[in-house]
Chains A and B, each alone.
Chain A
C-alpha cells in the first residue's frame, strides 16, 4: 500500500459525505426494489428476467454511487482547497491520482457490495412475501453480486477521471447523472446498436441483465474496464499537466 493510498483511504473515512451517500443509495434502492416487487402484478414477476428487473436497481445504483464517490474524492479537494496541501505534501501529482483511483475503487466496491446485497435480499423477501417463487437460478444469483461489485469498482475510477477533467464538483455530478439516466437511455431506445456499448450499459451487462439487448457479461466487463482505464488516464494526464487551481 503506498503512502498516498493510505492517505486517501483516511480522507474517505474522515468526512461525512461518504456515509451520507451510502444512506441515500440505500434509500433509493429500497424505494425502487420495494415499489417494483410489491406493486407489479404477479404475472409480471414470474420469469427470471422479470425478477432481474426488480433486483437490477442494486447493481445500477451501486455503480452510480461508486462513480459519485470517485468524483467527490477529487472535486471535493478542489472545491475546499485541500488539493493545495495535498499536492504540496506530494508534488508528484500522478501518485496522488493513483492513490485516489485505487482508494475510490475500494470504497466503490463496498458500495457495490452493500447495494447488491440489499437489493437482492429485500427483493427476494418482497417476492417471497407475495408467494411468488424465485425463478432465478444459481449462476444468475452469483453473477449479480459479482457483476455489481465489478461495475461499482470500475465506475469509481471513471468518477475520479471525470472529476479530474472537469474539476467543478457540480458539473461533474450533473454530468454523471445526465449521462447515466438520460443520454444512455436515449441511446438504448433509439440507437441500441451503439447504446449497448456505452459505459452504463456495459455495467448493466456485467450483472447479467437483459442479455438480448446488452452485451455478454464478460464482454461488458472488458469494455467497462477499458472505459475506466481511458477516462482515469485522461484525468491523470490533465492533473499532471495543468496548473493546480
Chain B
C-alpha cells in the first residue's frame, strides 16, 4: 500500500534520506519513528509527491502519488499543523480544498462535525488554538474519505486532553479499517496506538516490523528505540 525502495534524497551535500526501503500493509497503523532530523518529514514529502527523490522511489498504491487517478479519495495527509491562511475561516479552508477535488459541501460539514469544529467553523483560523488547528488539518485530510492517512507529528504541541482525543481518533480510524502512517518522536503516544513501527535515524532504516515482535521478552518500545538509535550514533 505504501512502499519506499532504495529511497534517497540529498540536498546538495546534505543527505536527508539514504537507501530507505520499507513497506506497509493495508489495514495497519504504523508508527514512523526517529529522532528530530532523522528524515521522517522528508520521507513523507517524497511519498506525497511534494519533493522529488534523488534516487529510488516512493509509491502509494503502487504508483507515484501524483499519478493516482483520484488522490484526494485515496490518501489524506497532514504535514504541518499550521498550513492555513489566518484570515480565512475553517469552513472556507475546507471548501476551497473540497472544490478542487470535487467533494460536496455536505462532506465539508461532515468532517467539521467529525473533528468537533462545527461551532467555530465560521471563525477565522487566526482565532483557533493549536489543538483546533491540528483538528482542522485532520478534517482536510479526511475530506475524500481516504483509505490511507499519512500524518506528520499530529500530536506536536497538543495538551494532554488533545493527545487523548487524538489517540481515540486514530484508534477509530484504524477500527474503520483504514491504513495509517503516523510519524512521531514521542514514543509514549505511539506505543499505545500502533501495531507496526518503522524506525529511522540519520536517513537510514534502523528496523521495521510488528510492534509485538520488537517488544517481546518484556522489552518496551522505548528500550528498543534507545538501543537502536544509540547504536546508530556510535
Decide: A4 near B100, CB < 8 A? Known: A10-B95, A16-B87: yes
Q: CA A3 – CA B72 in complex, angstroms?
A: 13
Chain A residues near B85: list those with CB within 8 A. Answer: 11, 15, 76-77, 80, 82
Contact B97 A85 (CB under 8 A): yes
Stretch at the interface among A89-97, A152-160, A183-191, A218-226: A89-97
- Residues of A66-98 at the interface with B, using a CB-CB cut-off of 8 Å, are 76-77, 80-92, 96
A80 close to B65 (CB less than 8 A): no
CA distance A11 to B50 in the complex (A): 21
Tell me which of A6, A84, A90 contacts B79 (CB under 8 A).
Answer: A84
A17 within 8 Å of B (CB atoms): yes
User: Which of chain B's residues has its CB closest to A10's CB?
Assistant: B96
B96-133 contact mask (Cβ, 8 Å, vs A): 1 or 0: 11011110000000000000000000000000000000
- Give the Cβ gap from B174 to chain A, nearest Cβ, in Å: 21
Q: Are B92 and A7 in contact (CB under 8 A)?
A: no
- Contact check, A10 vs B83: say whether CB atoms are below 8 A apart: no
Q: Which of B45, B71, B80, B88 contacts A14 (CB 8 A)?
A: B88
Identity of the chain A residue whose Cβ is nearest the Cβ of B82 in the assembled complex: A81
Report whether B97 and A244 are in contact in the complex, using a CB–CB cutoff of 8 Å: no
Q: How far is the CA of A187 from the CA of B71 in the complex (A)?
A: 49
Per the CB 8 Å criterion, the residue count for chain B at the interface is: 35
| Cα distance A91–B96 in the bound complex, in angstroms | 15
User: Which residues does chain B contribute within 8 Å of A43, judged by CB atoms?
Assistant: none
Task: Count A-B contacts at CB 8 Å.
Answer: 89
Known: A84-B83, A243-B52. A91 touches B140 (CB 8 A): no
Contact B99 A6 (CB under 8 A): yes
B66, B80, B85, B97: residue with the most chain A Cβ atoms closer than 10 Å: B85
Partner of B102, one of A3, A11, A86, A88: A3
Measured between alpha carbons, how far is A244 from B66 in the docked complex, in Å? 13
Q: Which of A10, A91, A99 contacts B68 (CB 8 A)?
A: A91
Please state if A14 and B96 are interface contacts (CB–CB under 8 Å): yes
B8 interface residue (CB < 8 Å to A): no
Q: Is A84's CB under 8 angstroms from B50's CB?
A: yes
Known: A6-B99, A14-B92. A82 touches B83 (CB 8 A): yes
Bound Cα distance A86, B102 (Å): 13
Task: Please tell me which one of the listed residues B80, B86, B101 contacts residue A84 in the complex, with CB atoms under 8 A apart.
Answer: B80
Interface presence of B49 (CB below 8 A): yes
Write the chain B residue with the least CB distance to A79.
B85
A87→B50 contact, CB < 8 A: yes
Contact A89 to B100, CB < 8 A, known contacts A243-B50, A243-B51, A243-B52: yes
Of B45, B48, B50, B84, which is within 8 A of A80 by CB?
B84
B17 on interface, CB distance cutoff 8 Å = no
- Tell me the minimal C-beta distance from A76 to chain B in angstroms: 7
B84 touches A81 (CB 8 A): yes
Query: What residues make up the interface of B, taking CB atoms closer than 8 Å to A?
Result: 45, 48-52, 65-66, 68, 71-72, 75, 77, 79-80, 82-89, 92-93, 95-97, 99-102, 137, 140, 143
Closest 5 A/B residue pairs (Cβ): A81-B83, A7-B100, A91-B66, A14-B92, A7-B99
A-B contacts besides A80-B84, A89-B100, A89-B101, 9 pairs, CB < 8 Å? A7-B96, A10-B92, A10-B96, A10-B99, A15-B85, A85-B140, A87-B49, A88-B79, A92-B66
CB-defined A-B contacts under 8 Å, sample of 16: A3-B101, A7-B96, A7-B97, A10-B95, A10-B99, A15-B85, A15-B87, A80-B85, A81-B83, A83-B83, A87-B50, A88-B75, A89-B140, A91-B71, A243-B51, A244-B50
